[in-house]
Amino acid sequence: MSGADLPPKYRTGNVDMTHGGGGRAMAELIEGLFHRHLKNPILDQGHDAAVFDVPPGRLVMSTDAHVISPLFFPGGDIGSLSVHGTLNDIAMAGGRPLSLTAGFILEEGFPLADLERIVISMARAAREAGVPVVSGDTKVVEKGKGDGVFITTAGVGVLPDGVSISPSAARPGQAVLVSGSIGDHGVAILSKRENLEFETEILSDSAALHGLVAEMIAAVPGIAVLRDPTRGGLATALNEIAHASGVGVVLEEDDIPVAPDVDAACELLGLDPLYVANEGKLICICEAADSDLLLKVMRAHPLGARAARIGAVVDDADHMVVMRTGFGGSRVVDWLSGEQLPRIC
């Protein structure tokens, strides 16, 4: 049952309940599709669990469930996203990711060719990130009890000595940086969902940020907070940090990078880019004295080319996020109370 033996039915067939039954059909799918594309020495051990060496020290562990709709979108798909999402959670704690696991929940009737596209994309994202998928699991639910494919990934990484990054570590006087323009992912998904056409296609920014983070930490080990502003966007992430750290944040509207086409699309769609999800951007909070060096390091990296200083941490008993507008006014940037865009990740 090696990969080369993949029966032709996997090219044209659909997921059926036998693919989750624990028998031969499931074994063929796992060997022929998952292992063939995700191949690496640890996965090839063929256990239900993967074994690998780990250096002594502190471990970082995280998980993300992915239910994005549509499954394929400009700039990525649920496969690449499920790799990037969990790697970024590990990176935001300062961790160097070591390995990933993937749990698939498949809906009966889902085309196997689409599943293969997703697994190939996942494999490419893992390879580019240098982090193998070492173990996985597949379940199948009846038609109408799922939605094509859900993927939950988990990851572990190691935390370098001396690094102590935490959402509760922001202190008044520190600078707030962002690694690039905001809102791309959410707008890309919504454009696809609503079949909107723009002059240039807006792509999701989905990307693995641990390489950028490693260079930032090498330059400034004392970074206080890192955070990827996913669901709920920049506004929600900053409110969470303000809440966790017991501080306020003041943003400068004119300094927040938003791509012109994303800005235009948000206007059209009635969205505020501050609340739109990103999948390849990070917020960094650091001592003001370190911000120039960090911006230089970030801008030298392809994923931080448009990095900017967008505000400062302030003393505020109410833990508010306030934005100073271009006209000298200011407004409160509140928590997102409901849901702006369902199933964005």
d(CA 59, CA 139): 28
Give the nearest distance from C-beta 199 to a second copy in angstroms: 29
* Closer to a second copy by Cβ: residue 27 or 288: 27
Give the number of other CB atoms < 10 A from CB of residue 326: 8
Contact between 139 and a second copy per CB under 8 A: yes
The phi, psi pair for 256, rounded to 5°, reads -85, 115
Q: What residues between 84 and 113 interact with a second copy by CB under 8 A?
A: 89-90, 92-93, 95, 98-99, 101-105
With contacts defined by CB under 8 A, how many residues of the chain interact with a second copy?
A: 89
**Rg from Cα positions in the chain:** 21
* Closer to a second copy by Cβ: residue 264 or 269: 269
Give the nearest distance from C-beta 271 to a second copy in angstroms: 13
d(CA 60, CA 223): 17
Give the nearest distance from C-beta 72 to a second copy in angstroms: 17
Chosen residue from 80, 152, 181, 204 binding a second copy by CB under 8 A: 152
Q: What residues between 304 and 333 interact with a second copy by CB under 8 A?
A: none
d(CA 233, CA 185): 10
Stretch that binds a second copy, among 115-123, 140-148, 197-205, 293-301 (CB under 8 A): 140-148
Contact between 283 and a second copy per CB under 8 A: no
Chosen residue from 5, 11, 41, 61 binding a second copy by CB under 8 A: 61
Residue 44: DSSP 8-state: G
* Closer to a second copy by Cβ: residue 112 or 295: 112
Chosen residue from 75, 146, 248, 280 binding a second copy by CB under 8 A: 146
Give the nearest distance from C-beta 135 to a second copy in angstroms: 5
* Closer to a second copy by Cβ: residue 169 or 298: 169
Strand partners of residue 177: 284, 309
Q: What residues between 164 and 223 interact with a second copy by CB under 8 A?
A: 166-168
**Host H or E run for residue 236:** helix 233-245
Give the nearest distance from C-beta 309 to a second copy in angstroms: 23
* CA dihedral of 63, 67, 79, 108, whole degrees rounded to 10: 120
Contact between 77 and a second copy per CB under 8 A: no
The phi, psi pair for 130, rounded to 5°, reads 75, 25
Given a contact cutoff of 8 angstroms between Cβ atoms, the answer to whether 253 and 298 are in contact is: no
Given a contact cutoff of 8 angstroms between Cβ atoms, the answer to whether 89 and 131 are in contact is: no
Contact between 281 and a second copy per CB under 8 A: no
**Burial state string for 264-274 with b = 16 or more CB within 10 A and e = fewer than 16:** ebbeeeebebb
CA dist 284 → 176, 255, 275, 299 (Å): 6, 15, 17, 13
Q: What residues between 21 and 60 interact with a second copy by CB under 8 A?
A: 21-27, 45-60
Contact between 65 and a second copy per CB under 8 A: yes
